[in-house]
Structure 1
Amino acid sequence: MPGLIASDDAGRKRKRVSTRGASKEAKSRKAPKPTNDDDPQSKILLLEEQILQSRENYNNIVELQKIVDHADKKPKTATIAAVALCRVFCRLIAGESLVKQAGASEGDSQVVQWLRARLDDYLNRLTSWIGSPDATKESTALTLLMRIVKEEATNSDKGDRAWRHEKSAFVAVVSRLLQETEAEGARQEFVEKFVEEHHDVRFYTFVAVKQILQDVHSGRQEVATNAIDLLIQIEGVPESDDQLEDWYGSTPQGQKNQLLSLTAHRKVARQAWLSIFRSTLSQESRKKMLSVATGHILPWFAGHIELLTDFLTDSFNQGGAMSLLALSGIFKLMTQKNIDYADFYTKLYSLLDEDLLHSKHRSRFFRMFETFMTSSHLPAAMVASFIKRLSRLSLQAPPGAIVWVVPWTYNMLKQHPPCTFMLHRTYHPAHAIYATHPNYEDQGMDDPFDMKQKDPMVTGAIDSSLWELETLQSHYHPNVATLAKIMGEQFTKKDYQLEDFLDHTSQTLIDAELGKEVKKPPVVEWELPKRIVTTEDGGMNDIGKSLQTAIDNM
């Protein structure tokens, strides 16, 4: 092996030039400060890299936030800066740089406090994007905010404080969703991507809703309305503890953890809904809740049905369409949860008034009404009252409503044979009607049905007759007259599919008549004149002269 050749400079001191060169080489490892000539994306990425390299570059956070603040002028650049800041804060949260350590110096504590303030500024800026007319901007903000939520929930050692604390990212998100009326898209995305997919997000969403509604400064009607809009979209209701297994944050530990208890989930959901019930609600909001009460609200009230029953009863007392929606929920509680509500059919009977058959919600009412009356165990006297009342109302109803009432009456008479006496009652001297009116053929008789009686069991309808339906056989509309004649024929048809008659209106009936093919033209008794005001030679006829005189005298 050849030996090393000794250099002539051996033993000499190294030149200081080499030291300066090494120093320059060491300094070159640090990223240079960005210049104004750099493109925005490169500048943002460089600022982010510097922040993650050294605490000395934390002021770059302020630079990035300034870029985010100019979202109106440069939306694309602001979005890139917002994403970069999200990565920065996620790294800082994961590294516990935002947590004050025990025994930390005063300087370190001030740095932690400063970083928390910057995070608050960042959250405030992103939450202001929720409700923006730019759907992409709004969606980006929600995604970044929930990424911060995930980092806080995963790296927090204080249990659910990261979800519940009033200054946490999650509470900030839910609060903005409830306070911003124009955030329908964000609320829908929040439910679809996060609430429905993760049980802990749903749990703490209920907690946050209750917390926000109890705040005296945010207990406005708009907040309650937005809370309803958010919660009614939650469809996934767990049925057992075993289904609680999808988590957005860290996996809960311990058998006593409330996130692993279905009872705890139902409790927080009930508390959230009860907070809404106690809020000032508009008529539309109450109707919206009533329309989904049995599907979206009832499952959370298992074991505490009485709380929901009180809400439904109070809603019914407001009258009108509200009563109908409330009765629908009460009926479900009666049939599915064995709730005793003795006045149900009395209240239903009270809804049948002269305005009902003219209402634009008529078809919706008929659908539910048919369901209410399907039981074959209803007393004949009660069924007769409903049949008689609707028959009486049909005398002043539009054709679109009558064409439903007649088939429904047919079905009810088939289902309740004792009521068929209302169609034809053979003379018998022992019957109360004929006994009290011995000369009925000459003098006639009064209808024993009392239209003003509120109790359907004592209206006297079962002793009356359906003369109203016979009257309808002479209705001006041919479809109504033809349909009413089925009451005078044999009941050979099993029943009618009422869904086929629900959506008829006067316009659809007219269109159906005009759309029929005329096989034989109708015969008219006059000739249509070729001219109305002029004669064949171009002069004025008598009508034309009269019209001209009237015009001249004006």
Structure 2
Amino acid sequence: MKRRASFEGSSLTEQNTRRMRLQANAMLNASTFDPTPLAKFILNLRQKPANIDQNDLMAVLEVIFTNLLKRESLDTQALQWDSLYTETWVLLLDRIGSTSQVETLMALKVCMSLIKSEAESPFVEGDWPIGKLKSILEILINGPERTIVLKEFGKYTKYLDVLNLSIKFALELAPTGDYQHDTIKALNYLSLVNQLDLGKAVLSAQKYHVDTNKSHRSFTYEKARKKLNKIWRGIIASSNGIDEDLHRMVLVVLLERILPHMEDPIGVTDFLMNSLHEYDGPIALLALQGIFVLMQKQNITYPDVYEKLYQMFHARVFSNKYKSRLFYLADIFLTSTHLPENLVAAFVKRFARLALKSPPKDAVIMIRFICNLLLRHTGLQKLIRGDPLAEQVSDPYNEKEKDPVKTEALNSSLWELHFLQKNAIPEVANAATFINNPLPIMEFDLGPLLDVEDSRIFDDLLKSKAKQYMLSYENTKTLALAKHDTVTKHFDLV
């Protein structure tokens, strides 16, 4: 009975949706505008009856108001919809602050569509409706956690007019005081800043949300850059005593949105070094990436960077969502052929040891990484020529030593790769066999491997066609065994 009631309720909701669409079409196509059906739609949006899908209702209202705003002229009776439009906008803002993420995303879409239609309307006086955009951002920042919704809002910041206004409002709506006093608001604010992309792809596209002369086309990179730097100064001033989640988000914003456009990149040195040495895991990794950017673009050297990078490779790294970023950074840091051999040897041994106890996908990555390092540093190829059995019993490599230079890895051998050749996963075993043959001329591209999902190796094995083996060279015509079979020589079937 409950299931039938559910089906009937679903059918009734679909019928109401079709009825709303027909009523909207009839109202818009009528020779004289009658706002009565529109008022009923708005009443349903306010009262939220169970038999009406609220997302469908918001979509119908979007179509109605978009159509009305596009009309070149409206009679006196049609002007009644103006107050209804204002009421609808208030209700949509309320839905953006709703606890239902589905309704919030739909309300955001409708609001941004109405902003575009209102700005392009031929009879609406004034400029870009910037107040409406500000009200949206106020609700997103001050409400419950809206990380996913703000990520959806990032689709609109690809337009230069929305980007320009969002940067302006980000300055005005910044939380006051330390972030630790209101972590949810701080997280929402940082999520908004993380959508403010001043990259070349956005600037070169020259796209605008509002396609009219009313659009804020006064966007200039230098002005936006100054505001973004001011936003960062506010962020760093409010980040005292924040928890690890907020600290990680601050680093993400710095790396992805702020650092490429900073007026004084060296000014974040202390923040990055403190993050690197005081934290472990993702925070230290993100700080390391920032330090690498400064080393690369500002020609600055930092002490103990390789030691910290070496310590980041441990068994827990395989459950880290920033794992691919760590491999990427390690590959770049170890690119130079002028690094000391004993330093690179320590990384080679660390990768070999971790490959013994890592998931198959990560084991393949580290084996390929080892091969690349052996190609870059030919002096390390002696590690694959030792006696694997003897070294396995007495390996001079000290994996507990934190300083990679002091690990004695250069006096060891890669017996781990011989052991990995017996791995149950064929892809891992095959990858480890490179030491049995002359090393390849070209390095392996780690990029595709870093994008592989954990379950892909097993799925590929299932999809691969197994070899067909002949079990009998004679087709049996009866239930009896084949002629000259070994069993029939010694037994009679009754």
The answer to whether the superposition gives a TM-score over 0.5 is yes
Aligned residue runs from structure 1 range 26-65, under 5 A: none
Contact 1:238 1:244 in 2 (8 A): no
Residue in structure 2 matched with residue 467 of structure 1 by the alignment: 415
Would you say the 8 A contact 1:149–1:169 is kept in 2?
no
Name which of 67, 71, 79 aligns with 2:45.
71
Amino acid at match of 1:179: N
2:193 is matched with which residue: 231, 250, 260? 231
2:94 aligned with 1:128, yes or no?
yes
In the alignment, the residues of structure 2 paired with residue 514 and residue 83 of structure 1 have an alpha-carbon distance, to the nearest angstrom, of 52
Alignment length, in residue pairs? 408
- Greater helix proportion: 2
**Partner residue in 2 for 1:176:** 139
SS in 2 for 1:72: helix
Q: Which has the larger radius of gyration?
A: 1
Cα pair 2:183 2:246 within 8 Å, conserved: no
Does 2:311 match 1:350? yes
Q: What is the distance in 2 between the residues matched to 1:293 and 1:188?
A: 17
- Greater relative CO (CA pairs within 8 A, separation 6+): 2
The match for 1:221 among 179, 183, 187 is 183
1:378/1:141 CA distance change after superposition, 3 Å: same
Q: Which aligned pairs between 1:107-146 and structure 2 lie closer than 5 A?
A: 125=91, 127-131=93-97, 133-134=102-103, 137-144=107-114
2:492 corresponds to which residue?
none
Normalising by the residue count of structure 2, what TM-score does the alignment of the two structures yield?
0.63
Please, what TM-score do these two structures have when normalized by structure 1?
0.57
Distance between the aligned counterparts of 2:215 and 2:350, measured in 1? Answer: 61
In 2, distance between residues paired with 1:497 and 1:191? 32
How far the C-alpha of 1:494 sits from its partner, in A, is 3.3
Shift of 1:345: 1.6
**Are the structure 2 counterparts of residues 217 and 499 from structure 1 closer, same or farther at C-alpha, using a change threshold of 3 Å?**
closer
Distance change >3 Å, CA 406–CA 309, structure 1 → 2: same
1:374 and 1:171 map into 2 onto residues whose CA distance is 47
Distance (Å, rounded) in 2 between the aligned partners of 1:245 and 1:479: 46
**How far is the alpha carbon of 1:309 from its aligned partner?**
4.2
Deviations for 1:403-428, whole angstroms, at most 9, x for unmatched residues?
Answer: 332232122111101212222369xx
Task: Indicate if the aligned counterparts of 1:238 and 1:262 stay in contact, CA closer than 8 A.
Answer: no
Is the Cα contact below 8 Å between 1:207 and 1:272 reproduced in 2?
Answer: no
8 Å CA contact 1:177–1:226 kept in 2: the answer is: yes
Aligned equivalent of 2:457, options 504, 508, 518: 508
Q: Distance in 2 between matches of 1:188 and 1:355?
A: 29
Shift of 1:382: 1.3
Q: CA deviation at 1:208?
A: 2.4
Residue aligned with 1:355, SS: helix
CA contact (8 A) 1:312 1:327 kept: yes
Aligned to 1:489: 437
Whether 2:226 is the aligned partner of 1:267: answer: yes
Q: Aligned pair in 2 of structure 1 residues 458, 390: CA closer, same or farther (>3 Å)?
A: same
- 2:330 is the alignment partner of 1:381: no
Q: Are the counterparts in 2 of residues 210 and 272 from structure 1 also a CA contact under 8 Å?
A: yes
User: Residues 424 and 465 of structure 1 are in contact (CA less than 8 Å); yes or no, is this contact kept in structure 2?
Assistant: yes
Any unmatched runs of 5+ in structure 1?
A: 1-38, 48-63, 88-117, 254-258, 427-440, 523-554
Pairwise mapping of residues 352-501 of structure 1 onto structure 2 (< 5 A)? 352-357=313-318, 362-363=323-324, 365-424=326-385, 446-475=394-423, 477=425, 479-499=427-447, 501=449
Question: Using a 3 Å threshold, how does the CA distance of structure 1 residues 518 and 232 change in structure 2: closer, same or farther?
Answer: same
Aligned ranges 1:6-17 → 2 under 5 Å: none
Q: Which residue in the other structure is 1:321 paired with? A: 282
Q: Measured at CA, do residues 189 and 493 of structure 1 come closer, stay the same or move farther in structure 2, by a change above 3 Å?
A: closer
Number of the residue aligned with 1:306: 266
Name 2:293's counterpart in structure 1: 332
Distance between the aligned counterparts of 2:90 and 2:41, measured in 1? 15
User: For residues 289-312 of structure 1, what are the alpha-carbon distances to aligned partners after superposition, in whole Å with 9 as ceiling and x for unaligned?
Assistant: 6456544332331x2213444444
Structure 2: stretches of 5+ with no match in the other structure: 1-25, 49-53, 70-83, 472-494
SS in structure 2 at match of 1:213:
coil
Say what the alpha-carbon RMSD is for the aligned residues. Answer: 5.2
* 1:486–1:170 Cα change, 3 Å: closer
Q: 1:307 to 1:221 in 2, by over 3 A?
A: farther
SS at match of 1:397: coil
Q: Is the 8 A contact 2:159 2:207 kept in 1?
A: no
How far does residue 386 in structure 1 lie from its aligned partner after superposition? 0.3
- Paired amino acid for 2:412: S
